[in-house]
């Protein structure tokens, strides 16, 4: 076997050999491995893991078998070997007898050859799947071999089963082929996988050595060794990622290019003592403290604020912006839509109306004149807080000195847009990103690795949980009557229609028909109804929003344009039409438009279609819980993190084994381990971390790791 490896190939490392050189592979199969699985080198093959194993350490007794026994291993004496039947139904049969009973073995194919090699009255080990035909058990085409004493001490009790494509199957590149190929690598004297995770991590966590982890992934001794191998490799996958994000945090924290805002000024105090209309929740107080600590430091803040819908993130943002202004810098708040930006602006203006803080709004539809004045005031520093849409990051928008950028509903903005905003000021502003799509904390820290994370995990005390029910179309009358009683109490309501694509005519028709139906239940002039959808001009939308907010209209019929952020505390009923067509996080966002005041709020999920499984599960989940984190978990289960979070775009690697949802304990460990290593040795210059540094430089971008900060 040794001859297969040319000297030249050895020079670049044993594992960099092309798979072609393995016995039984050759150029033809190597090409198929490349095109089907992207396997070029030994190391690629080594990372192609089996997805399950057959346990051959168990020997069953015939008497214990039943039709659903599945794959079993038997041991016994072979007899009655004979060819039966005529022509096409010709087959070879034999009887295997152990101390408990007997079972028939059958071969339909290749039986002449098998007939020749099987011996009467010899002991055999047999492996195969139990069939049942008319109540009679048998095994077709079993693996069979003469029993030898060594079989009792199985060297390979767990037989790997590799994932195969149709193409691979058609050319007989089966699990055995993979096993034999990988074995050649694993058993070669030059097979070595240097350890890169330092002892200070592997020892306390009892992680399997790297080499053995790969070995046991393919050839485990038993289930325990396989599980240990898997744990090690999952850890390794996360550890590399965590090292990178922890390192960028370290660089950021060490970099004194931030704007320290350590003055505790009068605006914050005045607002807190005289103008805040309610008591902050403990969670709000905690995150404000975390953020203020970041803002006071010499390094730039880059923090994610997670909080369920209605948890009160806006007021936290306001506090931070006041801190910024108190310290002599400008702040901006960017929202994904005009409606939201406008609403934020109006809220801030209202909350600050008795204080001398200069706030303004910039969106795509700001008038030329207003824009001109605004930009001048921004440059002179007269304007202190600027609210807006992504119009804020246009090049013409120049701050005198931007100190804090708050970005609301982060999932709508791309990373590139964010980066652009950061680069606006000479000194880089602190950045606070707020998201209402709560995801489990470990997952958030994985996906937004370069951010520090704060969580508001508590709702204001006066909130009554929203009651959510599911109603089919045939109960529309009942639902409309219920709505009537709520409106009579002075409440307001939203009725939302799906508009999957802004341009979809069908959906728009749905909305307009729905509007007519609702109008027939709630006739003017007794009732006033607002209508809003994405195709309307911004000023028309603003007008309708304002009418609803001011209580002039009682019902707001809309598409998902009202999905995020809209805040009308008097609205207490949310009816979602065709609820099965919405995703879970969208449903939760929509529901979050109610339950913002002290009144009991309701959410009605209407459906008319037959529901498929995921839709049923989504609706059931919505009716069962109001907790955004719990809902996110179900959403993750249903959709997977890739779909839910758009991780494809987020630059997360494709993990071979790590499951971002289920492996949160490993994720947590790896995160902590990487922070621990970097705390002690931020540049990885200590000898014990040299291998890690080399590994990261080779596998990530070496400039990043080569940098000394």
User: Which residues of this protein are in contact with ligand ADP, per CB under 6 A?
Assistant: 278-281, 284, 307, 309-315, 436, 460, 462, 567, 569, 596
The CB-of-360 to ligand ADP minimum distance in angstroms stands at 20
- With CB cut-offs between 5 and 8 Å by kind, which of Mg ion, ligand ADP, none does residue 677 bind? none
The CB-of-283 to ligand ADP minimum distance in angstroms stands at 9
- With CB cut-offs between 5 and 8 Å by kind, which of Mg ion, ligand ADP, none does residue 307 bind? ligand ADP
* Contacts by residues 374-378 (CB-CB < 8 Å, ≥ 24 positions apart): 378/330
* Helices vs. strands in the chain: H and E counts, helices first: 26, 21
CB neighbourhood size of 513 (10 A) = 11
The CB-of-565 to Mg ion minimum distance in angstroms stands at 4
- Residue among 173 and 334 whose Cβ is closer to Mg ion: 334
- Residue among 118 and 556 whose Cβ is closer to ligand ADP: 556
The CB-of-278 to ligand ADP minimum distance in angstroms stands at 4
- Residue among 62 and 431 whose Cβ is closer to ligand ADP: 431
- With CB cut-offs between 5 and 8 Å by kind, which of ligand ADP, Mg ion, none does residue 363 bind? none
Write the DSSP string, 496-563: E---SSTT-HHHHHHHHHHHHHHHHHS-TTTS-EEEE-TTS-HHHHHHHHHHHHTTS-SEEEE-GGGS
Stretch that binds Mg ion, among 60-68, 373-381, 557-565, 611-619 (CB under 5 A): 557-565
- Residue among 142 and 565 whose Cβ is closer to Mg ion: 565
The CB-of-487 to ligand ADP minimum distance in angstroms stands at 21
**By C-alpha distance, which of 148, 169, 96, 162 is closest to 127?**
96
Q: How far apart are CA 126 and CA 116, in angstroms?
A: 17
Cross-strand bridge partners of residue 532: 558
- With CB cut-offs between 5 and 8 Å by kind, which of ligand ADP, Mg ion, none does residue 365 bind? none
- With CB cut-offs between 5 and 8 Å by kind, which of ligand ADP, Mg ion, none does residue 272 bind? none
Under rule CB under 5 A, residue 336 binds Mg ion: no
- Residue among 390 and 596 whose Cβ is closer to ligand ADP: 596
Phi-psi region of 421 (alpha: psi -120 to 50; beta: other; left: phi over 0): alpha
Buried b (16+ CB within 10 A) or exposed e, 456-471: bbbbbeebeebebebb
- With CB cut-offs between 5 and 8 Å by kind, which of Mg ion, ligand ADP, none does residue 567 bind? ligand ADP
The CB-of-343 to ligand ADP minimum distance in angstroms stands at 9
> What are the E-state strand segments in 426-509?
430-435, 452-456, 467-472, 492-496
- With CB cut-offs between 5 and 8 Å by kind, which of ligand ADP, Mg ion, none does residue 310 bind? ligand ADP
Query: Residue 485 in contact with residue 479, Cβ under 8 Å?
Result: no
Stretch that binds Mg ion, among 119-127, 262-270, 323-331, 558-566 (CB under 5 A): 558-566
Q: How far apart are CA 581 and CA 348, in angstroms?
A: 35
- With CB cut-offs between 5 and 8 Å by kind, which of ligand ADP, Mg ion, none does residue 280 bind? ligand ADP
**Which residue lies nearest Mg ion, judged by its C-beta?**
565
Those residues with Cβ within 8 angstroms of residue 674's Cβ, 6 or more apart along the chain or in another chain: 239, 242, 243, 246
DSSP 20: G
- Residue among 220 and 307 whose Cβ is closer to Mg ion: 307
- Residue among 99 and 462 whose Cβ is closer to ligand ADP: 462
- With CB cut-offs between 5 and 8 Å by kind, which of ligand ADP, Mg ion, none does residue 278 bind? ligand ADP
Query: Residue 698 in contact with residue 194, Cβ under 8 Å?
Result: no
The CB-of-437 to ligand ADP minimum distance in angstroms stands at 11
- Residue among 138 and 567 whose Cβ is closer to ligand ADP: 567
The CB-of-635 to ligand ADP minimum distance in angstroms stands at 18
Backbone angles phi, psi at 375, to 5 degrees: -65, -35
- Residue among 229 and 283 whose Cβ is closer to ligand ADP: 283
- Residue among 50 and 565 whose Cβ is closer to Mg ion: 565
- With CB cut-offs between 5 and 8 Å by kind, which of Mg ion, ligand ADP, none does residue 311 bind? ligand ADP
Query: Residue 175 in contact with residue 162, Cβ under 8 Å?
Result: yes
CA 210 vs. chain centroid, Å, equals 27
The CB-of-409 to ligand ADP minimum distance in angstroms stands at 8
Q: 55 vs 61, 221, 687, CA distance in Å?
A: 15, 10, 43
CA 594 vs. chain centroid, Å, equals 27
**By C-alpha distance, which of 34, 49, 8, 13 is closest to 655?**
49
Beta 571-576 vs 430-435: how paired, if at all? unpaired
Query: Residue 568 in contact with residue 593, Cβ under 8 Å?
Result: yes
Stretch that binds Mg ion, among 14-22, 527-535, 561-569, 595-603 (CB under 5 A): 561-569
The CB-of-437 to Mg ion minimum distance in angstroms stands at 11
CB neighbourhood size of 93 (10 A) = 16
The CB-of-598 to ligand ADP minimum distance in angstroms stands at 9
CB neighbourhood size of 31 (10 A) = 13
Cross-strand bridge partners of residue 105: 94, 139
Stretch that binds Mg ion, among 124-132, 213-221, 565-573, 595-603 (CB under 5 A): 565-573
**By C-alpha distance, which of 107, 103, 100 is closest to 143?**
107
- Residue among 263 and 275 whose Cβ is closer to ligand ADP: 275
- Residue among 161 and 280 whose Cβ is closer to ligand ADP: 280
Stretch that binds Mg ion, among 2-10, 376-384, 509-517, 559-567 (CB under 5 A): 559-567
- With CB cut-offs between 5 and 8 Å by kind, which of ligand ADP, Mg ion, none does residue 569 bind? ligand ADP
Under rule CB under 5 A, residue 565 binds Mg ion: yes
The CB-of-408 to Mg ion minimum distance in angstroms stands at 6
**Which residue lies nearest ligand ADP, judged by its C-beta?**
312
Those residues with Cβ within 8 angstroms of residue 399's Cβ, 6 or more apart along the chain or in another chain: 330, 332, 378, 379, 386, 424, 425
Q: How far apart are CA 428 and CA 269, in angstroms?
A: 26
Beta 101-107 vs 91-98: how paired, if at all? antiparallel
Q: How far apart are CA 517 and CA 668, in angstroms?
A: 52
- Residue among 354 and 609 whose Cβ is closer to ligand ADP: 354
- With CB cut-offs between 5 and 8 Å by kind, which of ligand ADP, Mg ion, none does residue 309 bind? ligand ADP
The CB-of-376 to ligand ADP minimum distance in angstroms stands at 31
- Residue among 241 and 571 whose Cβ is closer to ligand ADP: 571
Cis bond before residue 525 (omega within 30° of 0): yes
- With CB cut-offs between 5 and 8 Å by kind, which of ligand ADP, Mg ion, none does residue 312 bind? ligand ADP
Across the beta sheet with 385-388, the strand order is: 359-362, 385-388, 330-334, 402-407, 430-435, 302-307, 452-456
- Residue among 65 and 406 whose Cβ is closer to ligand ADP: 406
- With CB cut-offs between 5 and 8 Å by kind, which of ligand ADP, Mg ion, none does residue 122 bind? none
CB neighbourhood size of 225 (10 A) = 18
Q: 551 vs 527, 544, 601, CA distance in Å?
A: 11, 11, 17
- Residue among 300 and 596 whose Cβ is closer to Mg ion: 596
The CB-of-182 to ligand ADP minimum distance in angstroms stands at 52
- With CB cut-offs between 5 and 8 Å by kind, which of ligand ADP, Mg ion, none does residue 437 bind? none
- With CB cut-offs between 5 and 8 Å by kind, which of ligand ADP, Mg ion, none does residue 534 bind? none
In the complex, the residues that contact Mg ion under the rule CB under 5 A are 565
């Amino acid at each position: 076997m040794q001859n297969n490896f040319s000297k030249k190939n050895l020079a670049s490392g044993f594992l960099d050999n092309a798979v072609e050189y393995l016995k039984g592979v050759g150029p033809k199969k190597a090409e198929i491995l490349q095109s089907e699985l992207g396997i070029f080198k030994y190391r690629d093959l080594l990372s192609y893991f089996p997805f399950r194993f057959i346990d051959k350490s168990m020997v069953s007794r015939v008497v214990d078998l039943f039709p659903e026994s599945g794959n079993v291993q038997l041991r016994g004496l072979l007899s009655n070997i004979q060819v039966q039947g005529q022509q096409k139904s010709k087959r070879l049969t034999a009887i295997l007898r152990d101390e408990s009973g007997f079972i028939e073995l059958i071969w339909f194919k290749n039986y002449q050859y098998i007939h020749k090699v099987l011996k009467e009255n010899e002991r055999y080990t047999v492996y195969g799947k139990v069939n049942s035909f008319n109540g009679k058990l048998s095994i077709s085409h079993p693996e069979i071999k003469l029993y030898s004493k060594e079989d009792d001490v199985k060297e390979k009790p767990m037989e790997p089963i590799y994932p195969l494509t149709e193409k691979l199957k058609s050319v007989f590149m089966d699990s055995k082929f993979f096993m034999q190929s990988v074995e050649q690598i694993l058993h070669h004297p030059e097979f070595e996988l240097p350890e890169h995770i330092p002892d200070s991590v592997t020892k306390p966590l009892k992680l399997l050595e790297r080499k053995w982890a790969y070995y046991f992934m393919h050839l485990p001794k038993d289930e325990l060794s396989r599980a240990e191998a898997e744990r090690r490799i999952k850890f390794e996958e996360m550890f590399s990622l965590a090292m990178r994000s922890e390192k960028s945090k370290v660089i950021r924290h060490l970099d004194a290019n931030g704007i320290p805002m350590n003055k505790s000024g009068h605006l914050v105090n005045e607002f807190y003592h005289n103008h805040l209309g309610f008591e902050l929740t403990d969670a709000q107080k905690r995150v404000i403290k975390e953020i203020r600590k970041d803002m006071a430091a010499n390094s730039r803040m880059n923090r994610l604020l997670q909080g369920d819908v209605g948890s009160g993130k806006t007021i936290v943002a306001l506090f931070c912006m006041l801190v910024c202004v108190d310290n002599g810098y400008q702040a901006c708040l960017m929202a994904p839509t005009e409606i939201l930006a406008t609403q934020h602006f109006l809220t801030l203006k209202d909350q600050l109306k008795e204080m001398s803080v200069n706030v303004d709004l910039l969106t795509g539809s700001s008038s030329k004149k207003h824009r001109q004045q605004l930009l001048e005031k921004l440059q002179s520093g007269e304007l202190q807080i600027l609210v807006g849409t992504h119009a804020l990051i246009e090049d013409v928008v120049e701050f005198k000195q931007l100190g804090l950028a708050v970005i609301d509903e982060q999932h709508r903005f791309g990373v590139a847009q964010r980066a652009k905003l950061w680069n606006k000021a000479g000194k880089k502003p602190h950045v606070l990103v707020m998201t209402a799509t709560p995801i489990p904390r470990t997952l958030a820290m994985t996906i937004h690795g370069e951010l520090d994370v704060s969580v508001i995990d508590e709702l204001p005390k006066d909130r009554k949980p929203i009651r959510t029910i599911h109603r089919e179309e045939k109960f529309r009358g009942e639902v409309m009557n219920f709505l009537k009683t709520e409106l009579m109490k002075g409440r307001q309501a939203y009725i939302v229609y799906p508009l999957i694509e802004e341009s979809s005519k069908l959906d728009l028709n749905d909305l307009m028909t729905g509007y007519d139906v609702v109008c027939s239940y709630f006739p003017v002039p007794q009732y006033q109804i607002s209508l809003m959808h994405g195709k309307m001009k911004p000023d028309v939308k603003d007008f309708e929003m304002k009418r609803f907010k001011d209580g002039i209209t009682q019902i707001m019929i809309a598409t998902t344009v009202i999905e995020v952020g809209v805040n009308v505390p008097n609205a207490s009923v949310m009816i979602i039409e065709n609820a099965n067509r919405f995703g879970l996080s969208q449903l939760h966002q929509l529901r979050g438009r109610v339950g913002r005041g002290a009144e009991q709020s309701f959410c009605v999920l209407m459906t008319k279609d037959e529901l498929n499984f995921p839709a049923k599960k989504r609706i059931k989940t919505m009716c069962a819980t109001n907790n955004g984190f719990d809902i996110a978990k179900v959403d993750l289960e249903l959709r997977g993190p890739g779909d839910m979070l758009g991780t494809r775009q987020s630059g997360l690697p494709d993990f071979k084994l790590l499951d971002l949802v289920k492996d949160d304990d490993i994720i947590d460990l790896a995160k902590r381990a990487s922070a621990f290593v970097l705390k002690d040795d931020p540049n990885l210059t200590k000898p014990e971390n040299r291998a890690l540094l080399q590994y990261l430089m080779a596998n990530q971008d070496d400039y990043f790791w080569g940098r000394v900060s």
